[in-house]
């Protein structure tokens, strides 16, 4: 074995310390790996007061899940550092993650769980209500606004599916369709068959007190009363720091854009890099990203197990 090749300080670095990243770190920690979680502290669901549809954690604040997850991972020796990853570069037997403050962390493997930001429509009154009365996922928030006056603000063709879904939670649904142009007459008839109202006028503003929503104002000054609006922002993955690695990417449907390409266990096109959670699947909810993180953590450990044997054999031949 070449003794000049240094062993990295960490077996694995997990970039991102929310549900997916903590799940990966927990798996790796329980596998007795040296694990560092580098976390910028800005999870996607930070705007929501509670999580829903999360088995065993129904109604739990997202921050509480993170607190519990950190405590659980720390029991198995996982360490934490605050910071945002700025770049990743190759080492002879690993990778170096450099954060925005210039600190360098070396590891044999990397799990990316940095999530996304939702780029919201630039409509007055929308951003400040995101996560409260302007919502993204009916599975996450539909029960809480059920039977209310619900709007669907189109930002892409996916809004047609979203309007169909939201109808399950209320008979009073309005689709604000201006961003879609002329709708297919057959699909328009399909929506109207279950009472979905279609408003083609451009939306000018969302109105209400504080974070509560009262109405949507459209061009011409008409106000349509609503209690909540569902919309899909443009997902922007936090993966720019990986640019030097030249990882393969995949185009997602509904115009969601380019994301890291991964196999079913989260492995990217780089042998030492895995990715899990919203950074590769913006449609995944909390339970789904927890599962994806666990898969990526287990797969990374499997790679390290094989490399441990390879290194032992090299040492024996040396």
The CATH number of the domain holding residue 163 is 3.50.50.60
Does one domain contain both 129 and 40? no
Q: What is the rounded average pLDDT for all residues in the chain?
A: 96
Q: Predicted confidence band at 111 (pLDDT cuts at 50, 70, 90)?
A: very high
Is position 136 within any domain?
yes
Q: What pLDDT does residue 2 have?
A: 47
Q: Predicted confidence band at 254 (pLDDT cuts at 50, 70, 90)?
A: confident
| Mean pLDDT, residues 200-205 taken together | 98
Residues contacting residue 19 through CB under 8 Å, at least 6 positions apart: 43, 65, 66, 69, 277, 286, 289, 290, 293
Q: Report whether pLDDT(267) > 50.
A: yes
Does one domain contain both 125 and 111? no
Domain boundary among 231, 259, 284: 231
Long-range contacts of 161-166 (CB under 8 A, 24+ apart): 162/138, 162/230, 162/232, 163/191, 163/196, 164/190, 164/191, 164/196, 165/138, 166/138, 166/142, 166/230
Does one domain contain both 68 and 162? no
For residues 297 and 304, is the Cβ–Cβ distance under 8 A?
Answer: no
Does one domain contain both 249 and 207? no
Q: What pLDDT does residue 3 have?
A: 47
Instruction: State which residues form the domain around 242.
Output: 10-118+234-317
Does one domain contain both 250 and 273? yes
Taking the C-alpha atoms of residue 261 and residue 283, their distance in angstroms, rounded to an integer, is 15
For residues 104 and 223, is the Cβ–Cβ distance under 8 A?
Answer: no
User: SS3 of 279, please?
Assistant: helix
Domain boundary among 166, 196, 231: 231
Does one domain contain both 172 and 207? yes
Domain boundary among 170, 200, 231: 231
Does one domain contain both 227 and 126? yes
For residues 281 and 292, is the Cβ–Cβ distance under 8 A?
Answer: yes
Does one domain contain both 74 and 85? yes
For residues 213 and 56, is the Cβ–Cβ distance under 8 A?
Answer: no
Taking the C-alpha atoms of residue 307 and residue 302, their distance in angstroms, rounded to an integer, is 9
Q: Predicted confidence band at 11 (pLDDT cuts at 50, 70, 90)?
A: very high
Burial class of residue 186, CB neighbours in 10 A (0-12, 13-18, 19+): exposed
Q: What pLDDT does residue 4 have?
A: 56
Q: Report whether pLDDT(1) > 90.
A: no
Instruction: List, as one string, the DSSP characters of 187-225.
Output: HHHHHHHTT-EEE-SPEEEEE-STT---EEEETTS-EEE
Q: What is the pTM of this model?
A: 0.93
Is position 2 within any domain?
no
Number of domains in the chain: 2
Q: What pLDDT does residue 6 have?
A: 74
Q: Report whether pLDDT(52) > 60.
A: yes
For residues 222 and 215, is the Cβ–Cβ distance under 8 A?
Answer: no
Is position 87 within any domain?
yes
Does one domain contain both 101 and 37? yes
């Amino acid at each position: 074995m070449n003794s000049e090749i240094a062993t990295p300080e960490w077996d694995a670095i997990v970039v991102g310390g929310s549900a997916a990243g903590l799940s990966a770190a927990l798996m790796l920690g329980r596998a007795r790996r040296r694990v560092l979680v580098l976390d910028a502290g800005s999870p996607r669901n930070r705007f929501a007061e509670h999580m829903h549809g999360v088995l065993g954690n129904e109604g739990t604040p997202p921050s509480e899940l993170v607190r519990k997850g950190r405590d659980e991972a720390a029991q198995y020796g996982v360490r934490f550092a605050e910071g945002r990853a700025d770049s990743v570069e190759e080492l002879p037997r690993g990778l170096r993650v450099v954060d925005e403050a210039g600190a360098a962390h070396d590891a044999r493997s990397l799990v990316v769980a940095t999530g996304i930001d939702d780029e919201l429509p630039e409509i007055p009154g929308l951003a400040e209500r995101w996560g409260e009365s302007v919502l993204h996922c009916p599975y996450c928030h539909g029960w809480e606004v059920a039977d209310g006056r619900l709007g669907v603000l189109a930002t892409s063709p996916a809004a047609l599916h979203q309007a169909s879904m939201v109808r399950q939670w209320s008979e009073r649904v309005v689709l604000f369709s201006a961003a879609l142009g002329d709708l297919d007459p057959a699909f328009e008839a399909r929506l109207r068959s279950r009472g979905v109202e279609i408003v083609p006028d451009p939306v000018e503003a969302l109105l209400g007190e504080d974070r509560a929503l009262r109405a949507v104002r459209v061009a011409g000054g008409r106000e349509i009363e609503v209690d909540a609006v569902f919309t899909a922002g443009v997902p922007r993955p936090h993966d720019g720091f990986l640019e030097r690695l030249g990882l393969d990417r995949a185009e997602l449907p509904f115009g969601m854009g380019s994301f890291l390409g991964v196999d079913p266990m989260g492995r990217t096109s780089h042998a030492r890099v895995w990715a899990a959670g919203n950074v590769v699947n913006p449609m995944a909810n909390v339970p789904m990203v927890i599962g994806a993180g666990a898969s990526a953590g287990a797969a990374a450990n499997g790679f390290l197990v094989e490399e441990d044997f390879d290194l032992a054999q090299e040492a024996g031949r040396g």
